Structure 1
Amino acid sequence: MNTRTLLASVLLAAGVAALPTAAFAAEDMGVLHVRTGAAVPVHPGETVTVPVGIANVSDKPVTGVVAEIRVLNDVNLPTTFSNCRYYVDSNVEGALCEFDTEFAPGKVYEIAGLQVSVEPVVKKDKLTPVIVRMLTPEWVKGQGGIDAFAAKEAGRGTSVKTGTAGPATLVEATHPLSTEGEVVGFAGLSLIVPPAPVVPTAPSSSAPAPTVPAAPSSAPAPVVPGSAPASAPTSAQAPAVPASASASVSATATGGAAAAPATPGTGGGDLAFTGSDAATVATVGVGALLLGTVGFFVARRRRTRFVA
């Protein structure tokens, strides 16, 4: 594959319309080659300067050149220089810039202040390099001049514009540029993607409720000398019931007879006999009564028996 076919394939792959066949003829392109530097980092929405150089690779001085600059898709070309004609064709923006500078043999010159801008919303696959090619003034004149040639490159229904600032100039290269090149060169751009913003997360609804400190307990009342101890039972406290009394109450409830309360002042405050104690006393009494009755009859019989 020769140079002519290779360059046409590269430009078509980049989305650029096919260049005129005469543009690839060696006699038309001359001996001025493109020099480019490293890829320029760029943020979305930013305008950056792109270093593009032109080198005279012959051993004779060359006067004048027309540089065609093209950008695609999400890269834009500001209409800056008054010696450039700007056109638009679909997704392509281009400029034809005319210089009358004399290029010394072996010297490399740089287009001062060449800038491109990037859309605020840009995709990596839409960030294409800047395409530059060299044309001789004689060849461009044969196309009808710079204005007529720009009109041919422009899309239907669009118009050619002239830059609104001063003319572009060529200066001795100040940026590191490649040492080799061709009549067509590519100045790369490197997109810098900002990091995604960190979105704070809302607090979880299941978070534990804050701990409420317990109220302090009331301090014990101070002990006053001569007063009753603080631990003395109050009237609201019921006195402890002896186990025997509990058993008596249980037996009484079972037998159906309630014990009569003790009469104040007569028994020294003793409780009445109830339950199993009363039954024992009654049994003893009945036994004593029976023994007394038997004794009475026995004594009577003995008195009757020994009477004369």
Structure 2
Amino acid sequence: MSATILAAGLAAAPAAAAPAPNEPDAAKLAAGGEKDPQTDKNRKYLVGPGEDVPAVLGVTNLGDAPVDGLVVQVRILNDLDYTKKYENCWYAVDSNQETAWCEFDQELAPGASLAVTGVGISTRTDAQAENISSIIHRWVSKEYADARGGVQALADQWAGQGTKAVRGTDTALTLTAPDGQLGGLGGPIGFVGVELVTPPTGEPTPTPTATPSATPTATPTVAPTAAPSASSGVPGGEGGGLPVTGAGTATVAGVGGALLLLGGAGYLIARRRTRFVA
């Protein structure tokens, strides 16, 4: 009976070496990016379609104790893709999101920083500016990851329904000291901006058929239509020919003749009346 009670007590007691899944990481890690000297903030990377993103994803130990082993989770969306996959990382895909969990054995001393430069991320060749935003990275200690099943188990949780995370095959990704100071240090989650740069399209070049098609159609329809009635088939009314005649000349001649006849008749009548009175 005492053995039964002892077994029940051991089962009820939590294991001291196994932290609860919802416990925070004991390591005080801060995610940071390459610092822009002009803005004193994280640098934004300007890349074109189909180009690699040389992002610096860094971590600083803000605690008082060294951290033995590090793990980074890197998430990208939409028109950013993993074009290189490393053997110390596990990759999961869920709809428009790709996630990598990478593991490193290096020790991070208090106040020190380490970083990965380029994690195999590129823009798609048909990328659209509105589909490019940022790279999200989260740092935890290896102890924290191991307590939750390791990087493979963590990556599987980010895989789409019915799929599993896949391990990379390229040479292992390594952590090195960053070239400069890291910026944007806060909590364990950091954001690195990426902006798509496309060549200017410019204004369309006008077609050469626009100008000639307007000039010839306007000139022949105005000048040549009046020319045949002014001269006897001579283009433009130039180069000789008969004098210009028309309806106006005939009218003037007719009026003059009528006036001449009326004048003669009036003269005869006046003359007859003069003789009759006498």
| TM-score, L = length of structure 1 | 0.56
Aligned to 2:103: 98
Counterpart Cα distance in 2 of 1:29 and 1:43: 40
Query: Is 1:151–2:156 an aligned residue pair?
Result: yes
- Aligned residue for 1:55, secondary structure, equals strand
- Aligned residue for 2:162, secondary structure, equals coil
Query: Is 1:168–2:173 an aligned residue pair?
Result: yes
Deviation at 1:73, TM superposition (A): 1.1
Aligned to 1:30: 27
Counterpart Cα distance in 2 of 1:45 and 1:169: 24
Query: Is 1:206–2:213 an aligned residue pair?
Result: yes
Aligned to 1:83: 88
Aligned to 2:258: none
2:91–2:165 Cα contact (<8 Å) kept? yes
Q: How does 1:212-251 map to 2 (within 5 A)?
A: none
Q: How does 1:103-142 map to 2 (within 5 A)?
A: 103-142=108-147
1:29–1:183 Cα contact (<8 Å) kept? no
2:133–2:195 Cα contact (<8 Å) kept? no
Counterpart Cα distance in 1 of 2:181 and 2:129: 25
Percent of aligned positions that are identical: 34
Counterpart Cα distance in 2 of 1:201 and 1:36: 47
Aligned to 1:39: 44
1:109–1:170 Cα contact (<8 Å) kept? yes
Pick closer, same or farther for the CA change 1:164–1:133 going to 2, 3 Å.
same
Counterpart Cα distance in 2 of 1:22 and 1:197: 56
Counterpart Cα distance in 2 of 1:49 and 1:115: 9
2:73–2:139 Cα contact (<8 Å) kept? yes
| Largest Rg, 1 or 2 | 1
| TM-score, L = length of structure 2 | 0.62
Deviation at 1:159, TM superposition (A): 3.2
Counterpart Cα distance in 2 of 1:43 and 1:180: 27
Q: Which has the higher contact order (CA 8 A, sep 6+)?
A: 2
AA paired with 2:109? A
Pick closer, same or farther for the CA change 1:62–1:130 going to 2, 3 Å.
same
1:77–1:94 Cα contact (<8 Å) kept? no
Aligned to 1:49: 54
**Which consecutive segments of 4 or more residues in structure 1 shift more than 4 A?**
none
2:30–2:189 Cα contact (<8 Å) kept? yes
- Deviation track 1:169-220 (CA, whole Å, cap 9, x = no partner) reads 11111144206221000011122132015532212233657xxxxxxxxxxx
Pick closer, same or farther for the CA change 1:202–1:112 going to 2, 3 Å.
closer
Pick closer, same or farther for the CA change 1:161–1:59 going to 2, 3 Å.
same
Counterpart Cα distance in 1 of 2:47 and 2:181: 18
Aligned to 1:191: 196
Deviation at 1:142, TM superposition (A): 2.6
User: For structure 2, which runs of at least 5 residues remain unmatched after alignment?
Assistant: 1-19, 35-42, 217-278
Length, aligned pairs only: 187
AA paired with 1:50? A
Deviation at 1:143, TM superposition (A): 2.3
Pick closer, same or farther for the CA change 1:69–1:179 going to 2, 3 Å.
closer
- Aligned residue for 1:171, secondary structure, equals coil
1:112–1:168 Cα contact (<8 Å) kept? no
Pick closer, same or farther for the CA change 1:107–1:92 going to 2, 3 Å.
same
- Aligned residue for 2:204, secondary structure, equals coil
- Aligned residue for 1:125, secondary structure, equals helix
Counterpart Cα distance in 2 of 1:156 and 1:180: 34
2:84–2:119 Cα contact (<8 Å) kept? no
